[in-house]
Every structure is written in structure tokens, then in C-alpha cells.
Chains A and B, each alone.
Chain A
Amino acid sequence: QQQVKQSPQSLIVQKGGISIINCAYENTAFDYFPWYQQFPGKGPALLIAIRPDVSEKKEGRFTISFNKSAKQFSLHIMDSQPGDSATYFCAARPFSGGYNKLIFGAGTRLAVHP
């Protein structure tokens, strides 16, 4: 069974701090790793994504770090803001040549306190 394990389950960060969420996967047959952000009452929305041929991708305050040998990837939110308070899901797509099914982690509920 292909799985993606996400931690921590919840995270509290002070405004201006760094939020770090980690994910690990159990096999190497994944070719796409997105992070989704979900606000209460809304559906998840793509935040940032990475492919396994790069080790880091940065978009504004959000950075994905990818460690292929360790089968781990993480989301870093720099200068965290109260507006970042949401649930974050990592995901992985099994290599499939175009088949787009995603396997999601269990989610991390982030609270950024002012």
C-alpha cells in the first residue's frame, strides 16, 4: 500500500516565525509532490509543487525541500502570518505517465498567532 506520512498533526507558530511541515513516502514510484492549503469551509487549493529531479523549490515565502534518498519532503513557510493559518496537505502522485491520482497525507493544522 502506497502511503504518505505527514507530521506534525498540528502546529502553532508565532507571527514572523518559520513553519515546517514534513512528509515521508514509502516507495520510489512517485513523480510529483504537491502541497495543498485548505481554509475552513473551502476545498483544498494547490500551494506549491515539486518534481523529484530538483531538491528545492521556492515561491515567495513558501519553500519545498526534497530529499530523494531519504524519501522525505517538507514545506517551509517563512515569516509566517496569521493569514497562513489553515490545514496543509502534502501529496504524492504514483508514476503513471499521465494518470493523475494523488495520495494525500493526513494534514497539518497550522495556527499562526499574532
Chain B
Amino acid sequence: GAGVSQSPSNKVTEKGKDVELRCDPISGHTALYWYRQSLGQGLEFLIYFQGNSAPDKSGLPSDRFSAERTGGSVSTLTIQRTQQEDSAVYLCASSFPGPGRETQYFGPGTRLLVL
């Protein structure tokens, strides 16, 4: 079946504008994750959704960042009043829950450039 898809693939915006990044997880995956990858850096955890549980927002770097997951499927990451330091690749991943099914499947990412 289809993998994790993300849109847009690239986004250029001006400082101070809001952006929305979309993630479509693999069908049936109840867990969804957002990560940020700055140039040449590792993956920085942002937020984790698991089924109907309250999301783990512990990785969100500031209150300008928020995410929601509608209907347990599609997720949107919103960055308000973008700053140049927000420029990065934003990766989404999904997985089944529980032991033995931990593999996270990543999308191709959205490359965000804030001018």
C-alpha cells in the first residue's frame, strides 16, 4: 500500500507568515509523529499522537508550533509567525502501536525555507 505522504514537498515563506504542513499516515497506523531535521542535524522530536490519547507535545520548541490530528488520520503541523530558525525539513512518521510493531515509517518530508 501507499506509504506516508507529506505536502507540500517544499515551502518557501516570508518571516512572520504562518505555514501549515500536512501528513497522511499509512492506513491503519494509529501512532503519528512529527520530527524536525535541521541541515546536517539529527531528528528532533516535536509531537506524538497515539490513538485517542492526549498527544505528547513535549518536543514543540515554542507556542508558535501546534499540531492536530483529525479523525485519527491526517495531521497538520502549524507554525505561526515563522522565523528564519524554523527553516528545516519537517518529517512525519506513523506506526502501529505496541510491542513488536514499533517500526516508524517516515514520509519524504517538507522542506521549509523561511526568508
Interface residues of A (CB under 8 A from B): 6, 32, 34, 36, 41-46, 49, 89, 93, 98-107, 109
| Given contacts A98-B99, A101-B33, A101-B48, A46 and B104 within 8 Å (CB-CB) | yes
Q: How many A-B residue pairs lie within 8 Å, measured between CB atoms? A: 59
Question: How many angstroms from the CA of A100 to the CA of B31 in the assembled complex?
Answer: 8
Q: Which residues of A contact B45 (CB under 8 A)?
A: 101-104
Contact call B42/A44, Cβ cutoff below 8 A: no
Contact call B104/A102, Cβ cutoff below 8 A: yes
Q: Tell whether B18 is near chain A: CB-to-CB under 8 Å.
A: no
Contact call A104/B102, Cβ cutoff below 8 A: no
Contact call B106/A44, Cβ cutoff below 8 A: yes
Closest to A45 in B: B106
Q: Which residues of A contact B56 (CB under 8 A)?
A: 99, 101
Contact call B104/A100, Cβ cutoff below 8 A: yes
Q: Tell whether B112 is near chain A: CB-to-CB under 8 Å.
A: no
- Return the 3 tightest CB-CB contacts between A and B, nearest first: A43-B106, A106-B42, A104-B43
> Can you list 5 pairs linking A and B with CB atoms under 8 Å apart?
A100-B97, A102-B45, A104-B35, A104-B43, A105-B42
Q: Which residues of B contact A93 (CB under 8 A)?
A: 102
Q: Which residues of A contact B43 (CB under 8 A)?
A: 44, 89, 104, 107
Q: Tell whether B62 is near chain A: CB-to-CB under 8 Å.
A: no
Known: A45-B106, A102-B104. 17 other contacts (CB 8 A): A6-B42, A34-B103, A41-B108, A44-B91, A44-B106, A46-B105, A89-B42, A89-B43, A100-B50, A100-B95, A101-B33, A101-B48, A104-B35, A104-B43, A104-B45, A105-B42, A107-B41
